Structure 1
Amino acid sequence: MNRFFLFLILVVAQACAQKTHYGKLSHLGDFPSKLKEVSGMAIHSGDIWVVEDSGNKDKIYKIDQKGSITKSLKIDHAKNEDWEDLAMDIEGNLYIGDFGNNANRRKNLTIYRVSRAQLKKKEPNAEKIEFRYPEQKDFPPQKDSLLFDTEGFFHWKDHLYIFTKNRTRPYSGETLIYRVPDEEGEYDAELLGSITLCKSQDHCSVTGADISADGKTIALLGYGFIFLVTDFELPNFDSASIQIIDFDSNTQTESIGFLNEKTLLIADEKNKTTGGGKLYSYSID
């Protein structure tokens, strides 16, 4: 066992032993009917972009802080097979994560890069960042190795950091951490390690991710839970600590982003059973 993985295990053990904190989301507004399945969010200089997942249009949507659409753009040279998250870099370039992989069968994992200049056009053109997980040998793998679905990522210093969503049976809670370069091309994703946020299948699989502008805090989202990761230095998580926040929700929370250093925005998908389809804020103490 190498030193990096040993440190990660120690970090996870400490995080899981920590007391869970509790908080409440503040309801900002409801999404319009055309945005029923908001699956990803990215925020840059106050601009909020959201996206929907499989079965929806090849579009991105700019919204205000009440959830109303202020702009929609069809992305050229991009197909929404399963768009699960958005990320933005400090220059305002947008990245669309087409890496939803519920059954762990996909071999065409893609991140679309839409430049800041293209975002000003009526039909922006997208570049393709294609990648694979070298550790996945079977499509799909055995039930205890269903670790290659993805719903959360963020951009930091020329790389896109990817957190996989665990679908193992029995549930292990493990999340793999990868990164790929932010430039057009074909890549083997680089495995950085793994974390186990907690062992509840209902709450602990990653559905969204973002990093604060100062690079000091990573926010990972699960169903009803926020995981704040601090005390790290990318790409290493050797000394990281994890704070668990239960915000007491049973909706399908899929999207998270930093509005500023102390405020997170969160969105949930709308469904007939639990409701949702809303935009919320959460203040970090």
Structure 2
Amino acid sequence: MIYIKRLIFLIFIVSSCQSIGQLKIESRIINELKEVSAAEIGKDSDIVWVIQDAGNRNNLIGLDKKGHIARNILISNAKNKDWEDLTSDREGNIYIGDFGNNNKKQKTFKIYKVNHDDLNTDSAVAEIIEFTLPEDQKPEDFESFFIYNNSFYIFSKENKTFSVLKVKNSIGKQVAELHSEYKFNGKNNKITSADISDNGKTVILLNHDKLWEITNFERDDFFSGDVTEHKFDHNSQKEGICFKTDSTIIITDERKDFEGGYIYSFSLN
């Protein structure tokens, strides 16, 4: 039965011209990376940076166009408590969001800053941004963030109303600000990754079977803008998203049995 399922899946991939619904398969991620939990393309590079989530090593990994490991950087002063997402700034520094909170008991979280100059090394010492929740804010599970105007916007993973925290990009300890709350229409709306375009005009939020495109917002009042839902016609554990260009998106999913473990591209046009 397993063999038949695998054969059917492979036939589907071949017959779809390397596409699944609206998702174009760019490459298969190397087998040893089964729990890829993010995606980020840094400055002046085609490398797709990824991490693996809780229980995996504290390494920042760069994938080439074939989905093979081109960089493998040990973050020597970090622990992968529950790494969930990546973002980057205009200088090319990469930030690792260690803010997963499945049991919703944790109140202190970290963001690790990996300097651009360390992205060609085998080991790096990260700078650390540590934050706590606002007073009276209940602990939530966070899986996604991006940087905008030198602040991080961190999204909770909720089916109904979700929270957005704002944290300054400043090394050291600080208290997050409750920036906003919002609720999408429909069901199964947990946000698993996020990004904002380089021109600051488009926000994208990822779910296992869709993404939301947000445009025409004022400053950082993101949900004052237009929200467009893009369905994929394909459901997998998608947990990484980033902009390649202002209209082309890169998405990654976790590997489960013979499915998933791909780098996809998606066009917003």
Specify the TM-score bucket, using the shorter chain as the normaliser: 0.7 to 0.9
Pick closer, same or farther for the CA change 1:126–1:199 going to 2, 3 Å. Answer: same
Instruction: Give the superposition deviation at 1:129.
Output: 0.7
Partner of 2:32: 34
- 1:264–1:281 contact (8 Å) kept in structure 2: yes
Runs of 5+ unmatched residues, structure 1: 1-22, 140-147
The count of aligned residue pairs is 247
Instruction: Give the superposition deviation at 1:175.
Output: 1.6
Partner of 1:185: 172
Counterpart secondary structure, 1:245: strand
Percent identity between matched residues is 38
Instruction: Give the superposition deviation at 1:183.
Output: 1.8
Task: Describe the superposition over 1:175-222 as per-residue Cα deviations: whole angstroms up to 9, x where unpaired.
Answer: 211111112111111111111123312xx1100000111000001001
Pick closer, same or farther for the CA change 1:82–1:213 going to 2, 3 Å. Answer: same
Return the alpha-carbon distance in structure 1 between the equivalents of residues 221 and 232 of structure 2. 28
Counterpart secondary structure, 1:117: helix
Instruction: Give the superposition deviation at 1:118.
Output: 2.6
Task: Describe the superposition over 1:130-180 as per-residue Cα deviations: whole angstroms up to 9, x where unpaired.
Answer: 1122155556xxxxxxxx1111101112111111111xxxx5x11211111
Aligned residue identity for 2:82:
D
Return the alpha-carbon distance in structure 2 between the equivalents of residues 136 and 199 of structure 1. 28
Question: After the TM superposition, which of the residue ranges 67-76 and 205-214 deviates more from structure 2?
Answer: 67-76
Question: After the TM superposition, which of the residue ranges 53-62 and 234-243 deviates more from structure 2?
Answer: 234-243
Instruction: Give 1:21-170 correspondences, 5 Å limit.
Output: 24-44=22-42, 45=44, 46-136=46-136, 148-166=140-158
Counterpart secondary structure, 1:257: strand
Return the alpha-carbon distance in structure 2 between the equivalents of residues 253 and 137 of structure 1. 28
Question: After the TM superposition, which of the residue ranges 28-37 and 234-243 deviates more from structure 2?
Answer: 234-243
- 1:66–1:279 contact (8 Å) kept in structure 2: no
Task: Describe the superposition over 1:95-129 as per-residue Cα deviations: whole angstroms up to 9, x where unpaired.
Answer: 00000111111123111111112323321111111
- 1:267–1:277 contact (8 Å) kept in structure 2: yes
Over the aligned positions, Cα root-mean-square deviation in angstroms equals 1.6
Question: After the TM superposition, which of the residue ranges 130-139 and 93-102 deviates more from structure 2?
Answer: 130-139
Counterpart secondary structure, 1:38: coil
Partner of 1:200: 187
TM-score scaled to structure 2, two decimals? 0.87
Counterpart secondary structure, 2:263: strand
Return the alpha-carbon distance in structure 2 between the equivalents of residues 225 and 195 of structure 1. 17
Counterpart secondary structure, 2:222: coil
Pick closer, same or farther for the CA change 1:70–1:165 going to 2, 3 Å. Answer: same
TM-score scaled to structure 1, two decimals? 0.82
Instruction: Give 1:218-257 correspondences, 5 Å limit.
Output: 218-237=203-222, 239-257=224-242
Runs of 5+ unmatched residues, structure 2: 1-20
Counterpart secondary structure, 1:120: coil
Greater relative contact order (CA < 8 Å, ≥ 6 in sequence): 1
